[in-house]
Amino acid sequence: MTTAKTINLTLKVWRQKGPKDKGKFETYQAKAIPTDMSFLEMLDVVNEQLTLEGKEPIAFDHDCREGICGMCGTVVNGRAHGPEKGTTLCQLHMRRFSDGDTIAIEPWRAMAFKVVKDLVVDRSAFDKLIQAGGYVSVNAGGAQDANSLPISQEFAEKSMDAAACIGCGACVASCPNASAMLFVGAKVSQLALLPQGRPEAAQRALSMVRKMDELGFGNCTNERECEAECPKEISISNIARLNREFLKAGLFSSVK
Amino acid sequence: MNWFVNTLGTSIGKKLMMAFTGLCFCGFLVVHLAGNLTLYGGKDFFNGYVAHLHSYGPLINVAELILLTLAIIHVLTGTFLFFGNLSARPKRYAVNKSAGGRTIGSATMPYTGFLMLIFIIFHLFNFHFADHATQTVFDIVSNAFAAGGYVTIYIISMVIVAIHVSHGFWSAFQTLGANHPKYMPLIQGLGTAFSLIVGIGFGFIPIYVFTA
Ligand code: HEM
Ligand code: SF4
Ligand code: FES
């Protein structure tokens, strides 16, 4: 086995003791970081060093570390989940950086996502959005006979593409307006495209959009930064579908 | 009618109003540009067009009232959205970097919009509220564009309009839900073409009058 290439980095990390603390950037040196490491492993190394020095380690969210759970995520040099396209922060490798780089690490910033500690933000606003309508009420029961409910390949694919959303919040974080339209668009689309989701489609669109406004998310101005940053590359055509579903529900359905 | 107000009062509802009024303005720009191009036909041709337009009488007043209403909706809603978006991110990032989504047009909508508002007021005082009793509209236009300062202001303003519609046009379709894999590239192309036509079409008129 060949020894991996290593790099030295300067980190400027947002440190904030709690939701009420003002918070500030602290500078740390990350020395001899193997380029094969993931970004989170690099933070682990820094945290071990901080612990040995008797300092408080940097708090950051993570769970699966393979890009499927949606827990990780910080803004790295101004980019949500870092500079790599279509990946979560846990999938970002240190080979993406060069020796001597300075890396600024900030939490997701949005009115609706309050900082809990350091890089950890409270994303329960997303849970509230799902509770507002991101479900199908009727118990689907056991598996149906194949072909008893014909669904075209095209619709199934589009629905699956929307369902790839892992609820990480990068869309909100990268949106210049801190809008949650890509997330809500993905959730509404995923259900609106399948027959099981249709009966409640109007109510869902109205409730989720009203909840989104109430939670303090911004207004979409079609900047497309969300689509460019989303680790699952969810398309803004889902936002257009949300707009359609909302328009239909608000003006042409009997649901109030 | 509560349901109507409730629908338009949401973030998407406000966006729908922006899209609808914005597209109406795009329509207005087409008609306005077509009319203004008669300037290239010379003094009599242009004054003839103006006389023809004014012969519609009350219809013109109705059109003006509709435009004014649309403008008030567009500007007020845009202002609400702008301040709403500022408060949606109370703490800004220390480092900002685009992932490649935004364009000059999309990133500057509220600012180009505000500059256009100032320009529109200036423009109305220049031409609309000018003395129409002792001079023809052609005289008003050629007197105004005899001054280099006016020519410069108008050219800069037309560049600003072009930047605003370069994003506004396709964005309005997306807001109305008209994002279709077959038609979206066409709509985006049309938006770019439209902003160029508007910018160049209007922008060359002051230069033409100045040099004529
Ligand atoms: C001839 C005049 C104008 C035209 C043709 C026009 C056109 C448009 C269009 C098509 C949109 C896109 C709507 C959407 O994204 O759904 C838009 C958005 C916008 N306009 Fe205008 N506009 C004009 C004047 C103004 C003025 C005078 C202001 C402001 C004071 C303004 C402020 C805005 C803002 C802030 C937006 C962004 C709203 C958003 O994307 O959410 N516009 N405009
Ligand atoms: S739409 Fe993309 S960026 Fe937004 S929460 Fe889902 S996976 Fe994350
Ligand atoms: S830790 Fe699960 S997606 Fe990154």
Only one residue has tokens 């619709």, namely: A155
Better-scored residue on pLDDT, B139 or B28: B28
Question: Helix, strand, or coil here: A177?
Answer: coil
Q: How far is A150 from chain B (nearest CA, A)?
A: 23
* ipTM for this model: 0.92
Report the pLDDT averaged over residues A220-225: 96
Better-scored residue on pLDDT, A2 or A45: A45
Which residues, listed in sequence order, are joined to residue A27 by a DSSP beta bridge? A12
**A48/B107 Cα distance (integer angstroms):** 41
- Least confident segment among A4-8, A53-57, A105-109, A181-185: A4-8
Query: Ligand 1 pocket, B162 CB below 6 A?
Result: no
Q: Using one digit for the tens of pLDDT, what is the confidence trace for B43-65?
A: 889 999 999 998 988 999 999 99
**Average pLDDT of the residues of chain A:** 95
Determine what percent of chain B is predicted with pLDDT higher than 70: 100
Statement: residue A1 has pLDDT above 80: no
What residues 119-178 of chain A have any CB closer than 8 A to a CB of chain B? 174, 176-178
Statement: residue A22 has pLDDT above 90: yes
**B34/B27 Cα distance (integer angstroms):** 11
Q: How far is A64 from chain B (nearest CA, A)?
A: 25
Q: Using one digit for the tens of pLDDT, what is the confidence trace for A175-219?
A: 999 999 999 999 999 999 999 899 999 999 999 999 999 999 999
Query: Which ligand 1 atom sits nearest the alpha carbon of residue B16?
Result: 16
Domains, chain A, ranges and CATH? 6-116 (3.10.20.30), 123-137+150-252 (1.10.1060.10)
Query: What residue owns the CA closest to ligand 2's atom 1?
Result: A183
Six token digits for residue A216: 């303090």
Q: What pLDDT is recorded for position A3? A: 64
Q: How confident is the model at residue B144 (pLDDT cuts 50, 70, 90)?
A: confident
Q: What pLDDT is recorded for position A2? A: 59
- Least confident segment among A63-72, B6-15, B126-135, B144-153: B126-135
Q: What's the pTM value of the predicted model, to 2 decimals?
A: 0.93
Interface-testing mutation among B4, B11, B81, with chain A (most A C-beta atoms within 10 A) = B11
CA distances from A131 to A208, A213, A239, B90 (A): 9, 15, 19, 26
**Smallest-distance ligand from the CA of A91:** 3
Which residues in chain B touch residue A171, judged by CB atoms under 8 angstroms apart? none
Does domain B13-211 sit in CATH 1.20.1300.10? yes
